[in-house]
Copies of this chain bind each other. A is one copy, B any other.
Amino acid sequence: MKGLTDRQQEILDLIKSNLEENGLPPTRADIARTLGFKSPNAAEQHLRAIEKKGFISILAGASRGIILNTEEDLGIPVIGLVAAGGPILAQENIEKRIPQAQNILSNKIDYYLRVKGDSMVDVGIYENDLIGVNKNNPVKVGSIVIARIGEEVTVKTLESISSKQVVLKAENSEYSNIEINPEKDEIVFEGTCVGLLRDFS
């Protein structure tokens, strides 16, 4: 799928805004009028070009027959158990997907992770809660991080970090800290916890 030119993008945007505001696609004449073309054929040819690049489909003979070829939003994946070895977001780990609810939580969430165990109860994170994970947030001391140590994925508070030692703190007095030497053992920060969802039964 090649990229659109600026002008083509303008027309695609116009189609989208037309759909959003009026609930129906524009006609060639609509497009020409809005963008100041003196011929509706200018719009026609742009539409053909955009169709050729795969962004829309044109229904032959149908008025306003412009269909957006949007890849559907699958929703945010919910990760249950992480299979040993593979990446967290591997297909086999995805328990289900829940619809992108923008604004329901304020932060950008890349995926939800179902909490196993009670190592974080002292900060109110319980077994079976879903924590919202942001993959790109900077990992800072004091924040709750999702870390992969070897093949295991764990959620802990980052207590301290240096090139020689990383300390992860369990927020439960019955657990002790995890200390890792990153030069010896592999530790990867998969993201930080930015939100939480809980269902009461």
Q: How far is the CB of A115 from chain B (nearest CB, A)?
A: 11
Q: How far is the CB of A98 from chain B (nearest CB, A)?
A: 5
Return the CB mask of A166-201 against B: 1 if under 8 Å, else 0.
000000000000000000000000001111111110
Q: Which residues of B contact A106 (CB under 8 A)?
A: 199
Considering only residues 26-47 of chain A, those with a C-beta below 8 Å from chain B are: 27
Question: What is the number of residues of chain A that contact chain B, defined by CB distance less than 8 Å?
Answer: 38
Return the CB mask of A73-94 against B: 1 if under 8 Å, else 0.
0000000000000000000000
Considering only residues 122-150 of chain A, those with a C-beta below 8 Å from chain B are: 124-126, 129, 143-144
A66 to B99, CA, bound (A): 28
With A22-B67, A23-B25, A126-B124 known to touch, is A199 a contact of B101 (CB < 8 Å)? no
Q: Which residues of B contact A198 (CB under 8 A)?
A: 124, 195-196
CB closest residue in chain B, given A195: B199
Q: Which of A129, A196, A198, A199 has the most CB of B within 10 A?
A: A198
Instruction: Say if the beta carbon of A162 comes within 8 Å of chain B.
Output: no
29 residue pairs of the A-B complex, CB under 8 angstroms, read A19-B23, A22-B67, A23-B25, A24-B24, A24-B62, A24-B64, A63-B63, A63-B64, A98-B103, A99-B102, A99-B104, A101-B101, A101-B104, A105-B197, A106-B199, A107-B199, A107-B200, A121-B124, A124-B125, A124-B126, A124-B198, A143-B200, A144-B200, A192-B200, A193-B200, A195-B197, A196-B197, A196-B198, A196-B200
Measured CB to CB, the residues of A under 8 A from B are 19, 22-25, 27, 62-68, 98-99, 101-107, 121, 124-126, 129, 143-144, 192-200
Contacts A19-B23, A23-B67, A144-B200 aside, 15 further interface pairs with beta carbons under 8 A come to: A23-B25, A23-B68, A24-B62, A27-B63, A63-B63, A98-B101, A98-B103, A99-B102, A105-B199, A106-B199, A107-B199, A194-B200, A195-B198, A195-B199, A196-B200
